[in-house]
């Protein structure tokens, strides 16, 4: 059963009409379903178990780092994949055991490494020689050993949007396979480094299983080769990337994904780590918005809503599709006509949908922008001095505001005037 569905003509999230939340919180706002996140987590974990894979799920916080979301997934059993000191602090604040945290990213700074070392995270995923050297230096100064994974760039096309592909040689991520031995030699020369793992992540929103297979086979082949050569590897980090359905895509079935993993790890005696982000939260969230005006152009109708590209940038940035669903269920014989759904920001790119077939929409009507749980609120800005869309978490028939809308004084108060302008 979906966590977002019409009941008695009103779109519900779990047992609550979204309209009731809108009345109390005001629009726009993000709304997340606890059940949808927990169900996605359990489905991922069960698929691994059914395929005989011994694996731990390290939720990629970048998809949605609200404390309540992290805590929900942590309670279900998740660790965390973090890419910055901020995310590391968020994971720790949500009570995640440092031994269930991996630190990824091409540009970790020494102070970020120091915090990871201080709390004793599971591993740093290293992507360049200067990063390796910096980590060794920080670890040596602190008198601790840094456990690392080498993030491999397998040179595989993830067949996803170019801006979120990370596994080709021209991408900034990972270490090209022919260069790995050089990294091992250097790591062996450096103090306070322990090579424990190999990692890969070829991109996000993958809707085809074959790039996973290609990348995982290359990774597993390298793992086995290096282990035979005496490297004390114990873990493989398979990254994230599993796509979700936004429109008419058919992402790989979890069982196919898990089977691919189980086949490649056969006989390797490796613990497995997975870093799903979008899969766990993407379809667990919506962005609720109110129609401000309906504007008739000479060749199209514009539905102008109170959410904008600053709230959900995916359509502007990636031409991404998000289903747009009225909170009030349209009748079966309602006439559908195409509209452009746009926000109030002064850019033509502030468009959520072009010529989207929609039932009649009038000012005041509430709409849900679906699949907004991942890479929504976390990518928001205050462009055009707009207030943030608050975030709400629902559990059954309860809801709570889990990030409030700031007020204008707070927004403007973030700026400071130099003394020569303040008198
Ligand atoms: C290293 C790493 N792990 C995990 C993820 C999570 O990806 P996704 O949300 O597609 O599962 C990302 C983002 O693409 C990433 O860069
Ligand atoms: N921001 C992207 C995903 C990026 C994944 C980052 N590793 C999106 O909204 O689809």
Average pLDDT over residues 50-73: 98
313 C-alpha to ligand 2 centroid (Å):
11
What is the pLDDT of the chain when averaged over all its residues? 97
- Beta bridge mates, 147: 194
- Cα torsion 247, 252, 255, 258: sign: negative
Could you give the dihedral angle defined by the CA atoms of residues 94, 97, 100 and 103, in that order, rounded to the nearest 10 degrees?
70
Nearest Cα to 140, choosing from 169, 124, 117, 166? Answer: 117
User: What are the residues whose beta carbons fall under 8 Å from the beta carbon of 31, sequence distance 6 or more?
Assistant: 13, 18, 21, 285, 286, 287, 288, 391, 392, 393, 394, 399
What is the model's pLDDT at position 148? Answer: 98
- Ligand 1 within 6 A of CB of 315: no
Confidence of residue 61 (pLDDT cuts 50, 70, 90): very high
- For a substitution probing ligand 2, which of 162, 205, 283 has the most ligand atoms within 8 Å of its CB? 205
CATH architecture of 34-281: Alpha-Beta Barrel (3.20)
CB atoms within 10 A of CB 35: 18
Contacts 24+ apart (CB under 8 A), 411-418: 411/382, 411/385, 411/387, 412/385
Q: What is the pLDDT of residues 63-120, one digit of tens each?
A: 999 999 999 999 999 999 999 999 999 999 999 999 999 999 999 999 999 999 999 9
Read off the pLDDT of residues 346-368 as tens digits, 9 standing for 90 and up.
999 999 999 999 999 999 999 99
pLDDT of res. 174: 95
pTM over 0.90: yes
CA distance 21 to 359: 23
Continuous segment of H or E residues that includes residue 52:
none
Give catalytic residues, as residue numbers: 346
> Counting ligands in written order, which one lies closest to the CA of residue 379?
2
- Residue pair 105/151 in contact by the 8 Å Cβ criterion: no
Give dist(CA 160, CA 113) in Å, integer.
Answer: 31
Ligand 2 mean position, distance from CA 205 (Å):
8
375 is annotated as contributing to ligand binding: yes
DSSP state, residue 78:
-
Say how many Å lie between the CA of residue 376 and the centre of ligand 2. 10
Q: Which CATH architecture has domain 4-32+283-413?
A: Beta Barrel (2.40)
* 41-76 core/surface letters (b: 16 or more CB in 10 A; e: else): beebbebbeebebebbbbbbbbbbbbbbbbbbbbeb
As annotated, the residues of the chain forming the CATH 2.40.37.10 domain(s) are: 4-32+283-413
Sign of CA dihedral 19, 24, 28, 30: negative
- The reply to whether 112 sits in an annotated binding site is no
pLDDT (tens digit per residue) in 324-335: 999 999 999 999
Query: Is the ipTM reported for this complex over the cut 0.90?
Result: yes
Q: What is the pLDDT of residue 340?
A: 98
**Measured distance CA(393)–CA(69) in Å, rounded:** 8
**Residue 239 CA: which ligand 1 atom is closest?**
3
CATH 3.20.20.10 in the chain, residue ranges: 34-281
Predicted pLDDT at 1: 61
Kindly report whether the peptide bond that precedes residue 224 is cis, defined as omega within 30 degrees of 0.
Answer: no
Helix (H) or strand (E) holding 316: helix 314-318
Q: Report the pLDDT value the prediction gives residue 2, as an integer from 0 to 100.
A: 84
């Amino acid at each position: 059963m979906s966590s977002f569905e019409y009941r008695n003509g009103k779109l519900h999230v779990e047992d609550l009409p979204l309209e009731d939340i809108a009345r109390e919180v005001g629009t726009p706002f993000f709304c997340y379903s606890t059940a949808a996140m927990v169900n996605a987590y359990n489905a991922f974990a069960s698929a691994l178990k059914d395929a005989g894979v011994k694996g731990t799920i390290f939720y990629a916080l970048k998809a949605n780092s609200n404390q309540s979301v992290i805590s929900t997934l942590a309670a279900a059993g998740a660790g965390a994949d973090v890419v910055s000191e901020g995310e590391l602090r968020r994971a720790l604040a949500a009570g995640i055991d440092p031994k269930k945290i991996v630190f990824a990213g091409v540009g970790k700074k020494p102070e970020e490494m120091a915090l990871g070392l201080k709390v004793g995270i599971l591993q740093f995923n290293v992507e360049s020689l200067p990063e390796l050297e910096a980590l060794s230096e920080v670890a040596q100064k602190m008198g601790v050993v840094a456990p690392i994974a080498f993030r491999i760039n397998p040179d595989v096309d993830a067949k996803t949007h170019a801006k979120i592909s990370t596994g080709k040689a021209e991408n900034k991520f990972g270490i090209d396979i022919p260069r790995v031995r050089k990294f091992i030699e250097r790591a062996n020369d450096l103090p306070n480094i322990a090579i424990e793992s190999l990692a890969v992540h070829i991109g996000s929103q993958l809707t085809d299983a074959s790039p996973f297979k290609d990348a995982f086979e290359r990774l597993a082949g390298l793992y086995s080769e290096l282990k035979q050569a005496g490297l004390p590897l114990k873990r493989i980090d398979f990254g994230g990337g599993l796509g979700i359905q936004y429109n008419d895509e058919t992402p790989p079935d979890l069982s196919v994904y898990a089977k691919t993993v189980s086949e490649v790890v056969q006989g390797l005696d490796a613990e497995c780590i997975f870093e799903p982000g979008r899969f766990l939260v993407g379809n667990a969230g919506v962005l609720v918005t109110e129609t401000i005006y309906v504007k008739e152009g000479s060749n199209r109708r514009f539905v102008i809503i109170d959410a904008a590209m600053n709230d959900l940038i995916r359509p502007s940035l990636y031409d991404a599709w998000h289903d747009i669903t009225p909170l009030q269920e349209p009748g079966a014989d309602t006439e559908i006509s195409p509209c452009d759904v746009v926000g109030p920001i002064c850019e033509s790119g502030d468009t959520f949908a072009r010529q989207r077939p929609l039932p009649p929409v009038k000012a005041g009507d509430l709409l849900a922008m679906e699949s907004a749980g991942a890479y929504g609120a976390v990518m928001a800005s205050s462009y055009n001095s707009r207030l943030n869309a608050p975030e709400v978490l629902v559990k059954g028939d309860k809801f709570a505001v889990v990030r409030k809308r700031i007020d204008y004084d707070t927004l403007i108060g973030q700026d400071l005037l130099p003394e020569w302008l303040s008198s």
